[in-house]
Amino acid sequence: MLRNKNINTILIISIFLFSIKWILSFYFFKENLSVKIIFESVSDGHYYYPLIKYLAFFEFNNSFDPNIDNLKVIPLPIAGIFIHSIFFKIFGFIAFIVMELLAIFIFLIIFYKIFSYFFSENESIVLSLLLFTIPSILAILNIENLPYINLLKSDFYTLRVPRPMINALYLFAFLYLLISMEKEVIFNKKKFILLGLILGLSLSSFYYFFVIEATAFLFFLIYKFKFDFLKKILEQRKNFLLSIFFFCFQFYLFFLIYYFMRKILQKDNVFLTSILKGKAFY
């Protein structure tokens, strides 16, 4: 269980990590807020900002060109951007800044809970912080260009929208769920509901993570029950059906996105051009 003291400590650490970037940005650069958010985005994450705006206002066929009034349905990575879209709808452009703080906090909480199964509370907080700062440490040591090391810098966890900022959190949440099943009770309705939701969100956002999670869970069942794992599945079919139900709910959204996908790069790639010029975001 998380103690209030530990939550407060992790929150303070999250605010500190978050503040380093944004205080300096607001102090040294006097731009419009929307411009600042674009320039402070990690890597090419700003290309997803128009899609976040589309989803927030349910505009799925806007080309931002007066000569093209219907692009049919624009495919959106809903599972990776819907949280941003909700916050954008409520708070406007400031939502992108708030989401960074929230993502840092959730990352630290997840790994704190994972490490707490193996280490003390203080050690778990330190290890969680160490994991989050891996990209910065590699950059300071100037070794991010070494083979495989650069993957830790760019692909383990950064605040690039939506991957790995949001999508990776689904994978980390699955990892925590799997470890909690190993250390505590496996067959629990709440855990199997979460399992179905996480698998569905992973499939909808980044299906490679879904393959990893599904395979890992299968091997986990084999590891725990050996050759009796099929028998165990039948015995606990209510929990598995519950998990499948919530997974199918997420998969249904995933299916609809790709079923209604249409060619949107029409007439000199007007949609892509609009995004690159920033027309779709302002």
- Nearest of 163, 147, 131, 145 to residue 44 by alpha carbon: 163
pLDDT higher than 70, residue 275: no
Reduce the DSSP state of residue 269 to 3 states and report it.
coil
- Name, of 44-48, 139-143, 213-217, 270-274, the range with top average pLDDT: 213-217
Domains of the chain, by residue range, sit at 1-165+263-282, 173-259
Q: In the predicted model, what is the mean pLDDT of the chain?
A: 84
- CA–CA distance, 52 with 280 (Å, rounded to integer): 10
Predicted confidence band of residue 34 (pLDDT cuts 50, 70, 90): confident
More confident residue, 272 or 53: 53
Predicted confidence band of residue 2 (pLDDT cuts 50, 70, 90): low
pLDDT higher than 50, residue 263: no
For the chain, how many helices (H) and strands (E)? 14, 0
- CA–CA distance, 171 with 186 (Å, rounded to integer): 18
**pLDDT tens per residue across span 160-215:** 999 899 999 999 999 999 999 999 999 999 999 999 999 999 988 888 999 999 99
- Nearest of 96, 50, 106, 110 to residue 74 by alpha carbon: 50
Predicted confidence band of residue 141 (pLDDT cuts 50, 70, 90): confident
